[in-house]
């Protein structure tokens, strides 16, 4: 995949897509290109997070306690919250087929937010909106249960 295609795909992601054009370009150039064979783990449940993975090609299954939770395809970002905060991973990610990905380390993402403060403001707003929606969804579930 060309760098221009990667930038265009990254721009469509909810949080990363908030970055300014130049910040997106830096991210695409500085992220590590990695590949995985069928059955390889991108990361394992219980590990400490170091960042996220943007899936360029192939598909990845998310597994928790040996049970498949979801399959993610090319164009998806796995571990979005790990870009901002270190967490213990609640699931494993395993390649279902050959996978090409960009590994985006938290330190890189943090550096980009420092260097592009306009992007940081937009990312913060996107995260706040996402958390607000999550809270509304929880409230709706609670009212259904009552």
Q: What per-residue confidence (pLDDT) applies to 133?
A: 83
Nearest partner of 91 among 107, 105, 79, judged by Cα: 79
Q: What CATH fold (topology level) applies to the domain 3-145?
A: Jelly Rolls (2.60.120)
- Please tell me the distance from the alpha carbon of residue 82 to that of residue 79, in angstroms, as a whole number: 5
Q: Which residues of the chain have pLDDT under 70?
A: 1, 145-146
Q: What per-residue confidence (pLDDT) applies to 52?
A: 95
Q: Which tens digits make up the pLDDT trace of 34-75?
A: 999 999 999 999 999 999 999 999 999 999 998 888 999 999
Q: What per-residue confidence (pLDDT) applies to 146?
A: 62
Name the residue ranges covered by the structural domains of the chain. 3-145
- Beta-bridged to residue 44, according to DSSP, are none
């Amino acid at each position: 995949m060309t760098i221009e295609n990667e930038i265009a795909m990254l721009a469509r992601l909810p949080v990363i897509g908030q970055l300014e054009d130049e910040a997106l370009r830096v991210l695409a150039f500085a992220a590590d290109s990695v590949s995985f064979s069928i059955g390889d783990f991108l990361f394992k449940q219980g590990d400490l997070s170091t960042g996220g993975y943007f899936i360029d090609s192939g598909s990845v299954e998310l597994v928790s306690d040996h049970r498949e939770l979801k399959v993610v395809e090319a164009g998806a970002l796995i571990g979005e919250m790990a870009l901002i905060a270190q967490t213990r991973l609640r699931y494993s990610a395993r390649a279902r087929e050959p996978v090409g990905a960009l590994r985006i380390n938290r330190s890189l993402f943090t550096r980009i937010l420092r260097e592009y403060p306009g992007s940081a403001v937009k990312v913060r707003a996107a995260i706040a909106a996402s958390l607000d929606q999550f809270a509304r969804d929880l409230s709706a579930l609670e009212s259904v249960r009552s």
